[in-house]
Amino acid sequence: MRLERSPAVADQVGRLAAAALLAISGYIHFDLYRDGYRVIPRIGTMFLIQESGSFAVAFLLIISGSFVLRLAAAGLAGGALVGFVLSRTVGVFGFTERGLNPAPDALNSVLAEIGVLVILTALLVPAALRWRRHRIATAAASLPTLA
C-alpha cells in the first residue's frame, strides 16, 4: 500500500517551516537592533521594521496561506538579503560592513532568509503546475467535439 502525500499537508508543513525561518530572521534583526544597531541612523529603524514585519507575517502565514502573505514573506526575506548585499558592497545610507560580521548572526540570518525563499518557491511550483493542468483540462473540455 502506497501512501500519497496530500498537497494540502505539504503546503501546511512548508508554510510552517517558512514562518519559523522568517521568525528566526526577525529575531536576529531584533537582537542586532537591541545590541547596537538602534543607534545607527536609519539602519536601526530599518532593522526594527524588518523585525516587526517578519514576526507579523510569520504569525499570519501560520494562520493563512494566502498568496499575498506568501508574497509578503518572500519580500521581507528578499529585502533583507538585498540589504545584506548592499551593506557589504556599496553601503546603505553610508553604512557598510564586511564579510559575515557580526558573526554568527549575519550567516544565520542569510541562511534563514534563503530558506524562506527556497521553501516558498518549492510550494509555488507544484501549485502553479496544478493550476496550469487545470486550465488546460478546462480549456480542452470546452472545445467543440468533431463528430
Q: What is the pLDDT of residues 35-69, one digit of tens each?
A: 999 999 999 999 999 999 999 999 999 999 898 99
- As beta bridge partners, residue 92 has 95
Instruction: Provide the residue count of the chain.
Output: 147
Q: Are 54 and 83 in contact (CB under 8 A)?
A: no
Q: What is the pLDDT of residues 108-140, one digit of tens each?
A: 999 999 999 999 999 988 777 887 888 888 887
CA distance 45 to 50: 9
| Closest C-alpha among 26, 21, 19, 10 to residue 122 | 10
Return the domain boundaries, the chain.
Answer: 9-134
Asked which of 2-16, 21-35, 63-77 is least confident by mean pLDDT, the reply is: 2-16
pLDDT score at 1 = 45
